[in-house]
Amino acid sequence: MTSNSLGKVSGKGGEYMASVSVDSLRAYTYAYIDINYLLENEWRKWVNKKDGTTSYFKKNGHLLFWYFPKGILLIKFSVPKFYYGTNAKPYNLDNADLIIKLIDHKIKILFPNTDISSFQNWICTEIHPFVHYYMDNEKDKITYLECLKKMQYLRLKKHTFSTGIQARNGSYALNIYSKFDEIKSRAINKPSSVSDADFAILSKVKNVLRFEYQVKKAYLRRNYKNNRTIKDVLTKQFCENLLWDAIKKANLNNHFLYKDELIQKIENEFGKIKASNLIEFVNDYNEMPKDFIDAKYPQKTQNNYIRILKEKTINPVYLPNKVSEKIDFSNFSEPDKVNFKFLLIKLLIIINLIKKYLIQQINNDVKYLTASSVFSPPAFFFEDGGG
């Protein structure tokens, strides 16, 4: 199931949409490269202290290459950072072929006398698809961040930060955070990591929430086996499917409601006693500190209540403040397409109104003409020799 089949959540003014892209990408291919050539071209040697194995690495712009003498060439890079100089700007995956051609060009320059497979055939071992959710103001962004921090992420270890949350295990990680605040934090703590391109886009991501799904090697191998080449994974459809999987894992396909909406939905879905228990739980879950919740409800009880609510498509976390728009986390449509759609709808409405107005005016003229002709024929009737 993909995002295209899902409904949309809208407020009074419209809808929030987002577009899917990829940040970090890691892949490898088999190649045999002369070690002397690497050393002559300023590749650095790395010795693993744990097992004593040796490898070589070189950074070329925003690309990081590793070579292992067993015959494995590995690359890791951020797609938008490689193309734009910042990973804050989503790269359009409809143009993924361009990225592949540019990487192939870089590889030919680095290894002019070595036969290396096209980048599209390299095996992907890590991919970080992401989606940006755009809000009208900072207050809405903070409200949603607080909701996301309250949620449980089953089978994942959760860490909360001032700018967002991370929930992870050995196979994948969910990162949900304010991109604007993340860049500002890096600018203060590690200025060298912030580029001019980061600063240039800062104002455009001020009210953006970023949802990033960091998928590791074990996840890809388990779920996709042999379909892990770059041409397989570096597509909008593949990344949408990954993100949809992450949205379901995080229970974000069940939307955040206001408190009164959530209580009403529980009352409609459950009997009186069960509804009363669930309402007490969600009130505590949203309004009381974690220590209080853990003392009152054993973890097994919390998980059971959340599971029961999830089965009725109910998110236990409610919006504590009024927001301009409600986010549909499961809709990945691009903002510019949405704006065009709304403009087109408005244009059609205006055209229909004009048509109705003109038809009404014509009807009025016909009525006037018919009524007046009973008493005095129009001038053209006499001039044409009528009567």
The string over 151-172, giving b where at least 16 C-beta atoms fall within 10 Å of a residue's C-beta and e elsewhere, is: bbbeebeeeeeebbbbbbeebb
Contact at 8 Å (CB) between 44 and 361? no
The string over 226-235, giving b where at least 16 C-beta atoms fall within 10 Å of a residue's C-beta and e elsewhere, is: eebbbbbbbb
Low-confidence ranges of the chain (pLDDT < 70): 1-18, 334-387
User: Can you tell me the distance from the alpha carbon of 317 to that of 326, in angstroms, rounded to the nearest whole number?
Assistant: 14
The per-residue pLDDT for range 128-159, each reduced to its tens digit, is: 999 999 999 999 999 999 999 999 998 899 99
- The predicted pLDDT at position 209 comes to 94
Burial class (CB in 10 A: 0-12, 13-18, 19+), 124: buried
- The predicted pLDDT at position 281 comes to 98
- The predicted pLDDT at position 253 comes to 93
Pairing of strands 257-258, 157-160: unpaired
Contact at 8 Å (CB) between 266 and 278? yes
Q: Within 10 A of 266 (CB to CB), how many other CB atoms are there?
A: 22
Residues 6 or more apart in contact with residue 333 via CB below 8 angstroms: 3, 17, 18, 19
- The predicted pLDDT at position 184 comes to 92
**Three-state DSSP state, 125:** strand
User: Can you tell me the distance from the alpha carbon of 381 to that of 361, in angstroms, rounded to the nearest whole number?
Assistant: 23
**Three-state DSSP state, 119:** helix
Residue with tokens 């009186």: 272
User: Can you tell me the distance from the alpha carbon of 269 to that of 275, in angstroms, rounded to the nearest whole number?
Assistant: 8
Contact at 8 Å (CB) between 65 and 110? yes
User: Can you tell me the distance from the alpha carbon of 346 to that of 352, in angstroms, rounded to the nearest whole number?
Assistant: 10
Which residues lie across from 164 on neighbouring strands? 177
Residues 6 or more apart in contact with residue 323 via CB below 8 angstroms: 11, 135, 139, 140, 143, 144
Q: Where are the alpha helices (DSSP H) in the chain?
A: 35-40, 79-84, 96-110, 138-150, 179-189, 196-201, 217-224, 230-233, 236-249, 259-269, 272-287, 290-296, 299-311, 335-373, 379-383
Closest CA to 31 of 74, 2, 91, 64: 74
Q: Where are the domains of the chain?
A: 3-249, 257-316, 335-369
Closest CA to 144 of 168, 178, 172: 178
The per-residue pLDDT for range 28-55, each reduced to its tens digit, is: 999 999 999 999 999 999 998 888 899 9
CA angle 282/285/291 to nearest 5° reads: 155
User: Can you tell me the distance from the alpha carbon of 228 to that of 217, in angstroms, rounded to the nearest whole number?
Assistant: 10
- The predicted pLDDT at position 364 comes to 58
